[in-house]
Amino acid sequence: MELLSISWSFLQLFNSTTVIAVFLSVFALLFDFMKRRKVWSRYPPGPWGLPFVGNLFQIGLREKHLRVTELSKKYGNLYSLQLGWIHAVVVNGYDALKELLIKKSEDCADRPYRPLNEILGLTDKKEGVVSARYGRSWKEQRRFTLSTLRNFGLGKKSLEERIIEEAGFLCNEFRAINGHPFDPDVILNNAVANVICSIIFGNRFQYGDKTFLELMHLFEENLIEFSGFWGQMLNAIPWAVRFPGPHQKIVKVQRRTEELLSVFINKHKETYNPSEKRDFIDAFLAEMEKAKDDPDTSFSEENLMFTTLDVFLAGTETTSTTLRWALLFMVLYPDIQNKIHDEIEKVIGKEKNIKTEDRVNLPFTDAVIHEVQRYADIVPTGLPRQMIRDVDIMGYCIPKGTMILPNLSSVLKDETIWEKPHEFYPEHFLDSNEKFKKRDAFLPFAAGHRICLGEQLARTKLFIFFAAMMQHFTFHLPDGEPKPSTNGSYMVILKPCPFKICAKLR
């Protein structure tokens, strides 16, 4: 009898536990359904998602840029996704992107809230410029950054001369390798970053400088961690940051980056002279002084850190990655490389420094640079935006607060616009007279209110660096090396897989 009594008690406990578990499961599913349900009329269609995660597994992390384009073939140029509990709309094709990003630019000028930003210290009025939400802080920082870049040479001869000088240092590095195989990644990154260093810090660094190399490495690590699995996990489960684990690396990388930048900022503060603005940091310190009595200002020491980081990333990563793709395509398409050599030798020669004013006389070289940007598709899905008000577009309604994913790849490889969208074909940017031809669908820097901060600077660096390399070297694959893959590695930026080349002095 005692045994039967114990068994009955256990069965009652088991049944109670089962009932509670079922109740909690049903409650969780209902809560998830309420969070994810769409109550808006004329909302874009989209694929069904799983409970709690939505369509996250359908688009993945490493091939997100491919998945979003594949889904557009089934659901159209405007379709919806459920990213956890976040409502998102993917915008595909030139007409849709032009309608939203250009004609209704302000309507989608916000950035979505990301818990990871808050974990890393980016909060209201301390969020830099790229990740800043739409409002006073973003407007102040963007206006300041663009005006300061202009004041320190953007579009002027002084900055162009710095870029030409750095192109000389870059070519010297290639020359010193003496024709042996090498990976151009670090050298290109250092050269491009040094232009930004001259604007932000007032001076360049030797390529072997330990602090400089560590800073470049940290920027690379920051991008990898922020866009990788652990960065996405912290966005989905921010409270996980309280526990130890591999996800803590993203915080450590951020803190170490801030420590290094703090050294430069503190040195500037010690030697700061209000009557002499030496660089970007000095200009920011001057704004801090002017706004010290304004409690709502975004000009704070913390924001100096984050805005400086944003300018670095905006002015370095995409440009150096584009140059790596350019060298890869040159060794894969030697006939195109030879045609560039012939054009530069005929117009410029081998001794004269190449300047931006030479662009108009080097139409094929210019076309190749544009085709590298189009075909390589450096930032295929752009950076996410968020609607600040309801918008009607192409027969649908996108509600306020919806995340927008601009699929730039769908424009750069639109089969209805480009003659050979899936081939490397510089003639896309040449007219019948072999003159350079602008294309409206060329949107590698996005468009509208959130167009890339470093667009003009990037265009100048790309032309001068690339043309200088082509002027002095012939690039080829090392003997016996297989052809490198053109399938890139996706981490917000689409980077070429590591490869080695040889640079033969012309």
CATH number at 179 reads 1.10.630.10
Residue 105 confidence (pLDDT) above 90: yes
Could you report the per-residue pLDDT of 44-91, keeping only the tens digit for each?
A: 999 988 776 788 778 876 778 888 899 999 999 999 999 887 899 999
397-444 residue pLDDT tens:
999 999 999 999 999 999 999 999 999 999 999 999 999 999 999 999
pLDDT the model gives residue 155: 57
Residue 355, pLDDT score: 93
Half-sphere exposure of 410 (CA within 13 A, CB side): 26
pLDDT band at 23 (very low <50, low <70, confident <90, very high): very low
What is the rounded average pLDDT for all residues in the chain? 87
What would the mean pLDDT of 172-187 be, rounded to a whole number? Answer: 95
Task: Give phi and psi for 489, each to the nearest 5.
Answer: -105, 120
**Region 453-462: what's the mean pLDDT?**
90
Predicted confidence at residue 5, as pLDDT, reads 57
Nearest one of 216, 196, 460 to 307, comparing CA atoms: 196
The residue range of the domain holding 198 is 39-505
Predicted pLDDT at 50: 79
Give mean pLDDT, residues 326-331: 98
User: Tokens for 186?
Assistant: 């670090």
Between 223 and 8, name the one with better pLDDT. 223
Which distant-in-sequence residues (6+ apart) come within 8 Å of 42 by Cβ? 392, 395, 396, 397
Across residues 273-280, what is the average pLDDT? 86
Q: What contacts 367, CB < 8 A, 6 or more positions away?
A: 426, 427, 428, 429, 430, 436, 437
Kindly report, residue by residue over 216-268, the tens digit of the pLDDT: 888 888 888 877 777 777 777 777 778 888 888 988 988 999 899 999 899 99
Could you give the C-alpha distances from 356 to 157, 366, 382, 461, 490, in angstroms and in order?
10, 11, 27, 9, 31
CA distances in angstroms from 86 to 38, 52, 419, listed in the order given: 11, 10, 37
Percent share of the chain, pLDDT over 70:
90
Instruction: Please answer whether residues 333 and 340 qualify as being in contact, where contact means their C-beta atoms are separated by less than 8 angstroms.
Output: no
The whole-angstrom separation of Cα 386 and Cα 400 is 8
Angle at 457 between CA 279 and CA 320, to 5 degrees: 105
The answer as to whether 30 is a domain residue is no
Q: Count how many domains the chain has.
A: 1
Using the predicted structure, report yes or no on whether residue 503 has a pLDDT greater than 70.
Answer: yes
CA separation (Å) from 339 to 186, 187, 332, 335?
Answer: 27, 25, 14, 6
Judged by phi (left if over 0) then psi (alpha if -120 to 50, else beta), residue 382 lies in left
Question: Is the backbone of residue 389 left (phi > 0), alpha (psi -120 to 50) or beta?
Answer: beta
Q: pLDDT-based confidence at 27, cuts 50/70/90? A: very low
Q: Is residue 7 part of a domain?
A: no
- Cα R_g (the chain), whole angstroms: 26
HSE-CB for 476 with a 13 A CA cutoff = 12
- Is 13 a member of any domain? no
User: Which pLDDT value is given to residue 274?
Assistant: 83
Q: For residue range 293-312, what is the model confidence (pLDDT) as tens digits? A: 898 899 998 899 999 988 88
SS (H, E, C) 408-465: CHHHHCCCCCCCCCCCCCHHHHECCCCCECCCCCCCCCCCHHHCCCCHHHHHHHHHHH
Asked if 331 and 477 touch (Cβ cutoff 8 Å), the reply is yes
What pLDDT, on the 0 to 100 scale, is given for residue 3? 47
CA–CA separation, 299 vs 126, rounded Å? 9
Q: What is the residue type of 311? A: V
CA distance 359 to 86: 45
Residue 168 corresponds to which tokens in the numbers above?
A: 């000389």
Three-state secondary structure call for residue 395: coil
Tens digits of per-residue pLDDT, 463-501?
999 999 999 999 999 998 888 988 888 878 899 999 999
Q: Is residue 123 part of a domain?
A: yes
**Dihedral (C-alpha) 275, 278, 284, 289: value to the nearest 10 degrees?**
-20
Is 2 a domain residue? no
Q: Is 18 within a domain?
A: no
Q: State the DSSP H helix or E strand holding residue 90, giving kind and residue range, or none if neither.
A: strand 86-91
Q: Is residue 28 part of a domain?
A: no
Q: Which residue has the higher pLDDT, 247 or 269?
A: 269
User: Domain for residue 73, yes or no?
Assistant: yes
Supply 223's token pair: 């991008």
Give 236-240's long-range contacts (Cβ < 8 A, gap of 24+): 236/84, 238/115, 238/116, 238/118, 238/119
Q: Measured between alpha carbons, how far is 118 from 244 in angstroms, rounded to an integer?
A: 18
What the block records as the tokens of 82 is 């459920």
Contacting residues for 71 by C-beta, under 8 A, at least 6 apart: 46, 47, 58, 59, 79, 81, 90
